[in-house]
């Protein structure tokens, strides 16, 4: 008989070790995953591709969708709130739909229409979200914080997300332990419970690295812990700030958002608010790289205008290094590389956030990009206006890499086919349609199932 081993996370050694404690059992009734997560061929993304004809000049206006990473964290945050949260500007992308499935697998009612989403958590009947869904997206793992804070326990599968590096969860675990949680790893799932059986307790925690997901998870957990929590060296990304605003609108007391220290006074209960997600800065920047200009921005809306001429013309021969906010965003690294390929001069792009985020380089090279990679640094020999780029078939292997292929394909001569579009659809709402409305020549292929005779 095969016996599963329980592992215990040791905060000193930062490793999981065999645990001799009696296995912890969730006291909250579990959801029947067989009903919720039945593999279905209907849910598989169709094998489609994009066909781009390069050389179009862009002009016109588009609106930017709501921020993916803000929406994922705030959808997780609704689990802190009793009753109904009303969210506006949630992007209609496959990652948010996966997040809806995660919430629904807990017994939450989710209704979504045209970016308006209501989330009613009063029917929660489980602290274990569907593991298959959690493994699809990094944001799915963030639910561990609110579940633990509100119900005193959580069982959450190890997260998935884009394949861009090792992406450990040690900071989440050590942070939750600092708030009084006991955390074990069992059968590929993190099992956590409040040590006093009921509630987390406020504490002090210093993050070794300002991780976005760990900051968000701990912020949600601390919002409902007993007492005051201080989190030091936290992430300062706008999406983290948006989550703090959401929690404060729910009745939480988060102070210091946007700085490197958060002080959070725990509350017994939070109530679902009405809240509008910020626009997606990465989508806006991607369109800027395609030659558009941000013309109007308020807290909740962002409009982009493509003007005749080329606003990115003067960008050449630069050295870009990614880093935590306010440094250059890693999520824009593949796109800036595609842009620099089409500009005169030699440029250097260094990736310092993730250890495996250069996968798009091989595909950009297929389009004629003159790029050499050494470790996490890319050396780019620019070619004015992409004159030496030529269309061919390439494959998106992750979200932002796929966006870079669209940019390069639009600058290349001839026809480019991009496979693996499901990766792009994870994070951009109707990107191909938005670009077409600005004058790009992009068509989407959908393969229909072949009928057997």
Q: Which residues bind ligand EPU (CB under 6 A)?
A: 68-69, 72, 138-139, 162, 165-172, 209, 211-214, 235, 237, 330-331, 353-354, 399-400, 427
State the residue for tokens 């870079």: 404
Which residues contact residue 218 at a Cβ distance below 8 angstroms, ignoring those fewer than 6 apart? 145, 172, 175, 176, 179, 205, 229, 231
Are 414 and 297 a contacting pair, CB within 8 Å? no
Least Å distance, CB 320 to ligand EPU, is 15
**Nearer to ligand EPU (CB atom), residue 369 or residue 427:** 427
**Nearer to ligand EPU (CB atom), residue 172 or residue 245:** 172
For every residue of 185-220, DSSP letters joined together read EETTEEEEEETTSS--B--EEE-SS--HHHHHHHHH
Cα dihedral sign for 313, 315, 316, 322?
Answer: negative
Least Å distance, CB 145 to ligand EPU, is 12
**Nearer to ligand EPU (CB atom), residue 12 or residue 447:** 12
Least Å distance, CB 290 to ligand EPU, is 18
Give the residue nearest to ligand EPU (CB).
Answer: 213
Least Å distance, CB 289 to ligand EPU, is 15
Least Å distance, CB 220 to ligand EPU, is 13
**Nearer to ligand EPU (CB atom), residue 14 or residue 61:** 14
Nearest to 399 by CA among 69, 47, 44, 141: 69
Least Å distance, CB 352 to ligand EPU, is 9
Which residues contact residue 150 at a Cβ distance below 8 angstroms, ignoring those fewer than 6 apart? 79, 80, 224
**Nearer to ligand EPU (CB atom), residue 292 or residue 399:** 399
**Residue 126, CA atoms < 13 Å, CB-side half-sphere:** 18
Which residues contact residue 433 at a Cβ distance below 8 angstroms, ignoring those fewer than 6 apart? none
**Catalytic-residue membership of 162:** yes
**Nearer to ligand EPU (CB atom), residue 28 or residue 219:** 219
| CA distance linking residue 385 with residue 412, whole number of Å | 9
For every residue of 280-338, DSSP letters joined together read -HHHHHHHHHTTEEEEEE-SS-EEEEEPSS-TTTT--S-EEEB-STTSB-GGGHHHHHH
Least Å distance, CB 16 to ligand EPU, is 13
230: part of which helix (H) or strand (E)? strand 228-232
Within 10 angstroms of residue 59's Cβ, the number of other Cβ atoms is 14
Which residues contact residue 252 at a Cβ distance below 8 angstroms, ignoring those fewer than 6 apart? 80, 223, 224, 264, 267, 270
Least Å distance, CB 42 to ligand EPU, is 26
Catalytic residue (choose from 81, 162, 191, 292) = 162
Share in percent of the chain as helix, strand, coil (round to 5): 30, 30, 40
Within 10 angstroms of residue 332's Cβ, the number of other Cβ atoms is 21
**Nearer to ligand EPU (CB atom), residue 167 or residue 343:** 167
Bridge partners of residue 228, in order along the sequence: 265
**Nearer to ligand EPU (CB atom), residue 150 or residue 167:** 167
Are 420 and 399 a contacting pair, CB within 8 Å? no
From the DSSP assignment, how many helices (H) and strands (E) are in the chain?
14, 26
Residues marked active site are found at 162
């Amino acid at each position: 008989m095969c016996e599963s081993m329980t592992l215990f996370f040791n905060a000193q050694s930062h490793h999981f070790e065999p645990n001799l404690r009696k296995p912890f059992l969730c006291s909250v009734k579990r959801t029947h995953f067989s009903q919720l997560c039945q593999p279905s061929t209907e849910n598989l993304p169709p094998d489609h591709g994009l066909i781009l004809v390069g050389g179009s000049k862009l002009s016109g206006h588009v609106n930017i969708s709501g921020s993916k990473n803000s929406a994922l964290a705030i959808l997780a945050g609704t689990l802190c709130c009793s009753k109904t949260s009303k969210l506006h500007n949630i992007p209609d992308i496959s990652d948010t739909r996966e997040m809806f499935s995660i919430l629904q697998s807990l017994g939450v009612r989710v209704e979504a229409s045209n970016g308006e989403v209501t989330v009613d958590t009063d029917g929660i009947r489980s602290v274990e979200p569907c593991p298959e869904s959690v493994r699809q997206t990094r944001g799915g793992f963030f639910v561990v914080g609110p579940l633990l804070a509100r119900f005193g326990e959580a069982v959450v599968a190890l997260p998935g997300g884009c394949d861009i590096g090792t992406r450990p969860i040690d900071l989440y675990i050590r942070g939750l332990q600092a708030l009084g949680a006991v955390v074990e790893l069992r059968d590929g799932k993190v099992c956590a419970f409040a040590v006093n059986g009921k509630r987390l307790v406020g504490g002090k925690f210093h993050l070794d690295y300002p991780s976005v997901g760990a900051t968000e998870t701990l912020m949600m957990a601390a919002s409902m812990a007993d007492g005051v929590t201080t989190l030091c060296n936290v992430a300062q990304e706008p999406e983290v700030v948006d989550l703090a605003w959401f929690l404060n609108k729910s009745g939480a007391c988060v102070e210091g958002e946007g700085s490197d220290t958060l002080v959070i006074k725990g509350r017994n209960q939070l109530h679902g608010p009405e809240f509008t997600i910020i626009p997606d800065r990465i989508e806006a920047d991607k369109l800027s790289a395609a030659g558009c200009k941000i013309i109007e921005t308020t807290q909740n809306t962002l409009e982009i205008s493509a003007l005749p001429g080329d606003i990115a013309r003067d960008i050449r021969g630069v050295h870009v290094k990614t880093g935590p906010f306010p440094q250059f965003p890693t999520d824009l690294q593949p796109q800036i590389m595609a842009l620099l390929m089409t500009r005169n001069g030699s440029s250097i792009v260094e990736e310092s956030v993730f250890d495996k985020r250069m996968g798009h380089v091989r595909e950009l090279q297929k389009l004629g990009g003159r790029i050499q990679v050494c470790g996490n640094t890319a050396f780019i020999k620019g070619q004015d206006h992409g004159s030496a780029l030529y269309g061919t078939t390439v494959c998106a292997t992750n979200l932002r890499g796929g966006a870079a292929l669209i940019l390069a394909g639009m600058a290349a001569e001839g026809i480019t086919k991009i496979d693996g579009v499901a990766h792009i659809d994870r994070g951009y709402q109707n990107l191909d349609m938005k670009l077409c409305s600005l004058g790009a020549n992009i068509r989407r292929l959908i393969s229909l199932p072949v009928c057997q005779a």
